[in-house]
Structure 1
Amino acid sequence: MSDKLGALREYDIHSDWTIYNRRLESYFKANGIEDDEKKRAILLNSLNEEAYKLMYNLCMPVVPENKQYNELTSIFDEHFKSSLSPFAARYKFYNSAMDAHETVANWAARVRSLAGQCEFGSTVYDWVLRDRFIIGFEKGPIQDRLFEEKITCSFSDVITIASSKMAAQKNSCMEEVKIEPGLHHISQHPRTPSTAQNRSVMSDSGASGSGVQNRRKKCTVCGRRNHFTSDYISPKFIKARPLPYGIKEKVEKEIDRLIELGVLKQVDYSRWASPIVPVLKKDGSVRICGDFKITINPHLEVDQFPLPLVDDILAELGGSVIFSKIDLSHAYNQVELEEESQDSGVC
């Protein structure tokens, strides 16, 4: 087992030489390597074939093995030295913005990286990074919160505030909505089985028998008789939940697409409203689902049917030679709701 501390990966010319050189110096210091020949040998051995060829060409007519370690690092320092002027670097810095998929910590790190070649003075360095960090946010609750801070706040202060605000915003998106008990009607004067209303109650509830039998059943909400819960449901209107900024544009485009296809239609008023649940698919698109478990699902009359066993299905398929499969895109959108049910499907 090696008694060396740490490990060095191969260096390729597409990596950052400045960062690799600093790691190399840390490796030498951690392992007490001070001999110049050892340093040179480790450096050359750490270069991949493409990087060694570059070093070899830059050292001509002398081979790299005959150069001092400091000479080799200076050759690469000069070769990989950025030709970007401070003004060009500042142009990139001042035009940067937080990406939709970036975390607060990653955005702060990118701001620091972009400022590396801008040659900001030490007296204004923290202020400039702070300002770019705040302005780079998309307009919204996080930037509004940062605008409330005093001008004396530091770069580290605004990073902490933005991280806390983003965490709170994510938690609010996942917050469960409390279900309030629905109001329902209690009939004070039950009608006879021959009335039209009584026949409608029987049909809607799926019950059979006389009106007297129906009056003996208890409401699942209040426990009283003479009415059914499903016949007197109070509509629920749940406010829309805030969307993560990373998928907000995708959700809006998907809604527009579904409206254009006629799957959805826009309404100005509804007694029912369920919040949507956007699901990010593997191909990067968004599937929009409705969170009906807090609105209409508790009141649905479900047709219960036992699922067949796998063995039963295989037994029925025995002897078959031709098989077919249907795969419906957006399967639930293939079934159109009846007009009287569309109001309860509003999202």
Structure 2
Amino acid sequence: MSNMVLGNMNSLVFDHRSQEWAIFKSRFGQFCLVNDITEDTDKAGVKRRGILLSALVEDTYRVARDLALPTALEETAYATLIKKFDEHFETKRCGFVERYHFYKAEQRPGEELSEWAARVRRLAQFCGFTSELEMALRDRFVLGLENPKEKEKLFAESISALSFSEALKIAQSVRCARLAIRSSGGSSAGVGATSEVFALSPAATESKKVKCSVCGYYNHSKQQCKFAEYSCKKCGKKGHLNRVCRSKTRSANFLVEDTDDICEDLTM
């Protein structure tokens, strides 16, 4: 190995009171890798042990010394040190608690869509999802969206065909269009563009003056409406949403306030 050290060793410091061991361990591995300190070049682990111990702040070094007893810390095998650190410094996690935080998460005010998507992935990290991971990510991303227009557009998509990455792309395109319309000054042309952005069916060919009796939008017909099988939260009957319901009575099973928000309206 060359005498020149790649990377900043001064920044390679671990304090268990304020840092996450898993992140430091990954950074430490990358530092050794770029400096060609590997299983082949450091079979006994002496160099890696020396670098690791020199990166510990005093309090962490003291904890490491106690963990190694009765063997002296500087005589403990590198692999043994890593195992002991993993057992001691890794945060103990409860799967149900992790899922609780995952399912209750919502997009924060001002949080970018890409940031929200990344946070959803991070929250799912210790939830134990296996084959259902993609579906769980998509559902939490869509249901946790802050903006009702972005959520409304995604609610109109086919749940069997919508992936997590596609949901992010659609939400971002809706947000870009909305911001573009807003920056145009809210002209009459912008109003028409808005109805096109939030069209429930891109293939709708009906006149925009024809109002759908199922959901109340103008850019598709009743036969094309994706909410035709939904039940009204006001009267309980299938075939229309609360926002267009003409019934003066309410079903006992659907006691809700009138709303124009389609996100509050979608109940089978």
Provide the TM-score with structure 1 as the length reference.
Answer: 0.48
The verdict on how the C-alpha distance between 1:127 and 1:4 changes in structure 2, with shifts beyond 3 A counting, is same
Q: Indicate which of 34, 57, 79 corresponds to 2:66.
A: 57
CA–CA separation in structure 1 for the residues paired with 2:73 and 2:119: 36
Counterpart of 1:6 in structure 2 is 7
Aligned residue type for 2:78: Y
The verdict on how the C-alpha distance between 1:177 and 1:148 changes in structure 2, with shifts beyond 3 A counting, is closer
Q: Deviations over 1:200-225 (max 9, x none)?
A: xxxxxxxxxxxxxxxxxxxxxxxxxx
Is the 2:21–2:90 Cα contact (8 Å) retained in structure 1? no
Larger Rg: 1
| Aligned residue runs from structure 1 range 13-28, under 5 A | 13=16, 14-28=18-32
The verdict on how the C-alpha distance between 1:18 and 1:139 changes in structure 2, with shifts beyond 3 A counting, is same
CA–CA separation in structure 2 for the residues paired with 1:42 and 1:12: 15
Counterpart of 2:137 in structure 1 is 129
Q: How far off is 1:139 after superposition?
A: 4.9
Q: Indicate which of 134, 141, 145 corresponds to 2:153.
A: 145
Counterpart of 1:343 in structure 2 is none
Counterpart of 2:127 in structure 1 is 118
Q: Indicate which of 87, 94, 97 corresponds to 1:85.
A: 94
CA–CA separation in structure 2 for the residues paired with 1:101 and 1:60: 50
Q: Are 1:161 and 2:170 matched, yes or no?
A: yes
Counterpart of 1:33 in structure 2 is 37
Provide the TM-score with structure 2 as the length reference.
Answer: 0.61
Identity between Structure 1 and Structure 2 (%): 34
Unmatched segments (≥5 aa) in structure 1: 179-238, 240-347
Q: Which moved more, 1:126-135 or 1:14-23?
A: 14-23
Counterpart of 1:73 in structure 2 is 82
CA–CA separation in structure 1 for the residues paired with 2:89 and 2:162: 37
CA–CA separation in structure 2 for the residues paired with 1:162 and 1:55: 48
The verdict on how the C-alpha distance between 1:63 and 1:102 changes in structure 2, with shifts beyond 3 A counting, is farther
Q: Deviations over 1:150-178 (max 9, x none)?
A: 22221111112222222333333333367
CA–CA separation in structure 2 for the residues paired with 1:145 and 1:39: 53
Aligned residue type for 1:76: F
CA–CA separation in structure 2 for the residues paired with 1:156 and 1:88: 26
Secondary structure of 2:158's aligned partner: coil
Q: Which runs of 4+ in 1 moved over 6 A?
A: none
Q: Deviations over 1:270-301 (max 9, x none)?
A: xxxxxxxxxxxxxxxxxxxxxxxxxxxxxxxx
Is the 2:15–2:60 Cα contact (8 Å) retained in structure 1? yes
Number of aligned residue pairs: give it. Answer: 179
Counterpart of 2:229 in structure 1 is none
The verdict on how the C-alpha distance between 1:7 and 1:172 changes in structure 2, with shifts beyond 3 A counting, is farther
Q: How far off is 1:146 after superposition?
A: 1.5
Secondary structure of 2:137's aligned partner: helix
Q: Deviations over 1:119-164 (max 9, x none)?
A: 111x211111111111111251111112122222211111122222
CA–CA separation in structure 2 for the residues paired with 1:177 and 1:94: 37
RMSD after superposition: 2.4
The verdict on how the C-alpha distance between 1:161 and 1:3 changes in structure 2, with shifts beyond 3 A counting, is farther
The verdict on how the C-alpha distance between 1:176 and 1:67 changes in structure 2, with shifts beyond 3 A counting, is same
CA–CA separation in structure 1 for the residues paired with 2:144 and 2:164: 13
Is the 2:150–2:175 Cα contact (8 Å) retained in structure 1? yes
